[in-house]
Amino acid sequence: NAGVMQNPRHLVRRRGQEARLRCSPMKGHSHVYWYRQLPEEGLKFMVYLQKENIIDESGMPKERFSAEFPKEGPSILRIQQVVRGDSAAYFCASSLRGHSSYEQYFGPGTRLTVT
- Secondary structure class of 85 (helix, strand, coil): helix
* 101/92 Cα distance (integer angstroms): 18
From candidates 19, 48, 86, 88, binder to other proteins by CB under 8 A: 48
Min dist CB 101 to other proteins, Å, is: 6
What are residue 82's phi and psi, to 5 degrees? -60, 150
Site size toward other proteins, by CB under 8 A: 27
From candidates 22, 68, 76, 105, binder to other proteins by CB under 8 A: 105
DSSP line for 39-77 = TTS-EEEEEEEETTEEEE-TTS-SSSEEEE--SSS-EEE
Task: Return the range that interacts with other proteins (CB under 8 A); candidates 10-18, 54-62, 64-72, 75-83.
Answer: 54-62
From candidates 10, 12, 16, 41, binder to other proteins by CB under 8 A: 41
If one asks whether residue 55 binds other proteins (CB under 8 A), the answer comes out as: yes
